[in-house]
A and B are shown apart, each in its own frame.
Chain A
Amino acid sequence: MTITSAQPDRFEIWRERLSGSVASITITFIIVMAVGLLWVGPRFVSTSNIGIIGSFLVVPLIVGACAGFALLAGVVDLSIGSMVGFASALFAIQIAGGMDPWIAAPLTLLACVAMGAINALAIVHFGADAIAATLGMLTALRGMTWVITGIGGASGAIFAFHPGLFGMANSRVLGLPVLFLLAIVLSLIAAGVVTKTRLGRHVQAVGGDDKAAARAGIPVARVRTFALLLSAFGAGVAGIVFVAQLGSAARATGFGLEFQVYAALMIGGYSILRGGVGNPVGGMLGLLVVAGVSNIIELKAISPYYTNIIVGALLLGAVLLDRLRGGDPYE
């Protein structure tokens, strides 16, 4: 490859890099960091503050990294928030009953994947609308969460404090929560899978145009089933992590998390209505931006409701940018 013939390619690549969704979310991220540094001061980037943000971000990061695959494959999974609640309740009730976490965790994950399989059966096998089917699953799982936490008594919470688990979940490296660092690594691995592997290309192809993908010999049904199972599995892991971090599960655990996560993922360049767009790094930055905004609002002792107003505005801005970048206009 000579330099002259490579030049247009390289130009294209850089143009894409500078104007793509990851670029705009990176710029947004830098702006949030700058606002935090200038307005809040150095304590915004202190290890203790980043540790606090990080601990809260572990669950959304895990959920987002896995649910992102379902978005990419063109099958939005709305049941993730309730799935986190279901997993946390199921895991907590086992721990509270004295079961070993190493047995309780696989059982919980198995139950979550089974629920994900129902999603996949309805959507991929029977052709149900993904939004409608996973909305049903969202409702059913929330009901199960209520029923399980109801066993714990009228308080609506299950106390499942396990010293070993709690210590592990809250351990730190260089002053930062280990789980937060692991969640970041998970997002980066997801990004590697999406951009560098055959599986990732298949997922994107299926989400981009399922008929073309099928003609190209990609097993569309299998890819979508995998994406939905992975989404359920990720939410299950996040539910277990939640219990390990806090030592309890409640009726409302994970309530509305799906909208929070998808808003952040869309700010990061994903689309919930169009498969094949987005990147786990963008999704991760989207979650970091939302958490950063929320943290700034908190540190400045402003009403937390302003966070949602800013998130809503960012969401509208992000989808508008996506459309101007070549997304389908809605008429």
Chain B
Amino acid sequence: MALAPTIDGKDAVGPRWPGLGAWGPALALVAVWLVLIAATGLYRPDFLSHQTLLAVTFTMSIVGVLAVAQALVAISGGFLDLSQPSGLILSGLVTVRLAEAGMPMPVLILGALATGAAWGLVNATIIVLAKLNPVIVTLATNFIGLAALFLLFQLAQVPRGTAIHEFGRTSLLGLPAIWWPMAALILVAGFFLPRTRVGRRAIAVGGNRQAARARGISLPRTRIAIFTLSGALVGLASVLFVASSGPFNPGSANFLQLNVIASVILAGVSLAGGRGNLWLLFPSVGFLSTIPTTLVFFGLASDWQLIFQGFILVFAVAFDGYRARRAP
């Protein structure tokens, strides 16, 4: 394809991989993931071990939950939530403080969910009232949030011996306990998004706001609902985060951001909104979480993982753009 005179890929509609239907990209993603596992296994048979499975699934847990939250924002036309690190650390801090006060596990979880939801609601309120783009609003609130958190505390950690500390270190059915909430969330959210009224409204708003409004869907209400829900999921991620990590500071969640956004894009969720299957987050998060372990088995320092993840992302979005442009 020659250099196109205009960039107009976003208008493309219709089945993108004829024949395989909507499952084409999914199969491609799973295939790439399996090839990676098979290739590493052939090169180093000891890669295919329970140890590797534990490492990969552990990495998947927190990123997976955050990716669902991020994908909901993107699908509903909110582009990106760049304030996830602040929301995660804020909810995590609340969880730690509750754990230090000796509260039982359900209270910790409720506290984290409520804090995360409140953070999402703050973002949504600014976005809806000032009619500002979520990317910029969340960029600003993340600046403010992280700085405020640094003024609040330097290091925090859940006390040893508490239930949540145990939860972060035990395994269930051969996998880390923190992996199961993530897997359940992807399954449930992926099932309900296209099958419930609020889910379909979110997709409709993301796809075409004017059309959605014409159908009587309230844009501000949908935005507030999605950002609050997404924030609550960040709160859930914070429970997994504080349970499994050691002492953390307000900057400890920053490194997650890139992986989360990369997972969402690799899963085929359109940043322009209106398109995305949450179930595909499972292979995309899994694939990106396998890379670090794979590299270790190929004898490369862990520093190399970012290079691979970065170029995979560039390649994936270039491929996605190319496909969207070629579609009728």
Contact = CB atoms under 8 A, between A and B. Distances in A.
Contacts of A262: 139
Contact of A139 (B133, B148, B306): B306
A258 to B, nearest CB: 11
A140 B3 contact: no
Interface string B281-314: 0000000000000000000010111111111111
B303 A146 contact: yes
Interface string A218-246: 01111010000000000000000000000
Contacts of B146: 308
A266 B137 CA distance: 12
A183 interface: no
Interface stretch (A13-21, A126-134, A165-173, A192-200): A126-134
Interface string A288-308: 000000000000000101111
A100 B310 CA distance: 31
Given A306-B147, A312-B140, A316-B140, A214 B317 contact: no
Interface stretch (B4-12, B113-121, B194-202): B4-12
Nearest to B143: A312
A143 B314 CA distance: 14
Contact of A135 (B147, B261, B301): B261
A27 B146 CA distance: 28
Nearest to A118: B314
A126 B322 contact: yes
Interface in A89-126: 118-119, 121-126
Contact of A126 (B144, B271, B303, B321): B321
Given A210-B6, A316-B137, A132 B317 contact: yes
B50 interface: no
A122 B321 contact: yes
B133 A330 contact: yes
B265 interface: yes
Given A126-B322, A309-B147, A139 B5 contact: no
B219 A273 contact: no
B56 interface: no
B151 interface: yes
A127 B271 contact: no
B76 to A, nearest CB: 12
B150 interface: yes
Given A124-B7, A135-B262, A143 B310 contact: yes
Contacts of A128: 314, 317-318, 320-321
Interface string A255-288: 0100100110010000011000000000000000
A210 B136 CA distance: 23
A316 B132 contact: yes
B305 A273 contact: no
A220 B313 CA distance: 25
A220 B319 CA distance: 21
Interface stretch (B22-30, B123-131, B229-237): B123-131
B307 A126 contact: no
Contact of A259 (B130, B139, B141, B303): B139
B6 A136 contact: no
What DSSP secondary structure best describes chain A's contact surface?
Answer: helix
A135 B139 CA distance: 15
B34 interface: no
A265 B317 CA distance: 26
Contacts of A266: 136
B133 to A, nearest CB: 5
A311 interface: yes
Contacts of B7: 124, 127, 210, 220, 224
B155 interface: no
Nearest to B209: A331
B53 interface: no
A139 B313 contact: yes
Nearest to B9: A127
B141 A140 contact: no
A323 interface: yes
Given A126-B318, A331-B219, A147 B311 contact: no
B317 A122 contact: yes
A162 interface: no
A152 interface: no
Interface in B1-58: 1, 3-9
B219 to A, nearest CB: 5
A320 B137 CA distance: 10
A330 B127 contact: yes
Contacts of B209: 331
Contacts of B318: 121-122, 126-128, 133
Nearest to A211: B6
A127 B314 contact: no
Nearest 10 Cβ contacts at the A-B interface: A140-B310, A143-B306, A136-B313, A139-B310, A127-B321, A143-B307, A312-B143, A312-B144, A308-B147, A136-B314
Interface of B: 1, 3-9, 80, 126-127, 130-137, 139-144, 146-148, 150-151, 209, 219-220, 254, 258, 261-262, 265, 271-272, 301, 303-322, 324-325
15 contacts: A121-B318, A127-B4, A127-B322, A133-B317, A136-B310, A136-B311, A142-B310, A143-B309, A147-B301, A147-B307, A211-B6, A221-B4, A305-B147, A307-B147, A329-B131
